[in-house]
């Protein structure tokens, strides 16, 4: 591991801690506002009172901090995945072990988790809570020789190995595919979708922003550009997907907000 690699990991880890502390400060302010409004709800009717505007601003800040935390976490996990090849070293140790290795390995993993920053532990807990949820997943395609992004369902999250087991419920019409398929993927290959029933979890991507979105009537995600930000009445984005030309132009397609996520860093490198 080179010095620049270590510096990048430490920098992102410190940024996660900073974001987490800021979120805690904002949460305390929100709780204070809630108590104020619960005890004296009539205050909002007074001339010049800005309680509701203040509360809205705090929620906006909390949302932005949460989105930044997801972005930094994804970057950090990508850095770690690049430095720690999955499977190779662990399999080699199991072959040459004397029977006590599995126990030693588990103890080391547990201690590693305890040394994680509060933000990273919180991120692990969030992933564990995704069981049964649909997420966007970067899935290796052996035949195609590249990775693609699909909508899959989370089956299990292993905190020890930090791998997420997912189920591709609609693998396609290929009769040789054997129906639904399961994959074990690193955390950096998973992006949670915003919750359909919680608009506060939705991203607010501006026009011109590059995103990753589910192509209409499919379960595959592709790079797209935001043409029109989502409207509160429909909560749909108007997007133009790359390589989606029809008659020499890119058609504009409506995609629900809960099927649009940030474009992963380095997307071009593995497609």
Residue ranges per domain, the chain?
3-83, 88-192, 199-270
In whole angstroms, give the CA distance from residue 226 to residue 206: 7
- Tell me what pLDDT residue 259 has: 93
- Tell me what pLDDT residue 57 has: 86
Regarding the domain delimited by 3-83, which CATH topology (the fold level of the hierarchy) does it fall under? Helix Hairpins (1.10.287)
In whole angstroms, give the CA distance from residue 241 to residue 139: 20
| Same fold for the pair 3-83 and 88-192 | no
In whole angstroms, give the CA distance from residue 138 to residue 215: 15
Q: Are 207 and 266 spatial neighbours (Cβ–Cβ below 8 Å)? A: no
- Tell me what pLDDT residue 268 has: 56
Give 107's strand partners: none
Do the strands 190-192 and 253-256 form a parallel or antiparallel pair, or are they unpaired?
Answer: unpaired
Do the strands 134-141 and 190-192 form a parallel or antiparallel pair, or are they unpaired?
Answer: antiparallel
Give pLDDT tens digits for 190-238.
999 988 887 777 888 999 999 999 999 999 999 999 999 887 767 889 9
- Scored b (16 or more CB within 10 A) or e, 179-205 reads eeeebebbbbbbbbbbeeeeeebbbeb
* CATH class name, domain 199-270: mainly beta
- Tell me what pLDDT residue 10 has: 81
* CATH class name, domain 88-192: mainly beta
Instruction: Compute how many other C-beta atoms are within 10 angstroms of the C-beta atom of residue 55.
Output: 17
- Tell me what pLDDT residue 92 has: 31
Collect the ranges in the chain with pLDDT lower than 50. 1, 85-116, 175, 269-271
- Tell me what pLDDT residue 130 has: 80
Instruction: Compute how many other C-beta atoms are within 10 angstroms of the C-beta atom of residue 1.
Output: 8
In whole angstroms, give the CA distance from residue 55 to residue 9: 34
- Tell me what pLDDT residue 175 has: 45
Q: Are 204 and 260 spatial neighbours (Cβ–Cβ below 8 Å)? A: no
- Tell me what pLDDT residue 163 has: 87
* Nearest alpha-carbon partner for 20 in 60, 68, 55: 68
């Amino acid at each position: 591991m080179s010095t620049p690699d270590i510096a990048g990991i430490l920098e992102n880890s410190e940024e996660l801690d900073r974001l987490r502390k800021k979120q805690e400060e904002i949460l305390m302010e929100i709780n204070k506002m809630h108590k104020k409004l619960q005890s004296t709800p009539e205050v909002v009717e007074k001339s010049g009172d800005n309680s509701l505007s203040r509360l809205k601003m705090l929620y906006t800040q909390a949302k932005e901090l949460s989105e930044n935390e997801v972005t930094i976490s994804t970057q950090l996990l990508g850095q770690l995945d690049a430095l720690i090849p999955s499977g190779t070293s662990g399999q080699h140790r199991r072959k040459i072990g004397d029977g006590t290795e599995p126990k030693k390995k588990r103890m080391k993993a547990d201690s590693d988790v305890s040394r994680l920053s509060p933000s990273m532990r919180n991120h692990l807990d969030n992933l564990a809570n995704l069981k049964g949820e649909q997420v966007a997943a970067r899935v290796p395609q052996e035949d195609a020789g590249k990775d693609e992004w699909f909508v899959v369902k989370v089956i299990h999250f292993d905190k020890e190995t930090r791998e997420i087991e997912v189920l591709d419920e609609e693998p396609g019409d290929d009769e040789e595919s054997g129906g639904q398929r399961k994959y074990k993927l690193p955390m950096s290959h998973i992006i949670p979708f915003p919750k359909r029933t919680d608009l506060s979890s939705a991203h607010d991507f501006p026009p011109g922003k590059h995103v990753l979105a589910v192509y209409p009537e499919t379960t595959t995600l592709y790079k797209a550009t935001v043409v029109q930000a989502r409207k509160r009445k429909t909560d749909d984005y108007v997007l133009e997907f790359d390589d989606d030309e029809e008659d020499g132009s890119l058609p504009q397609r409506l995609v629900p907000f809960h099927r649009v996520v940030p474009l992963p860093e380095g997307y071009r490198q593995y497609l």
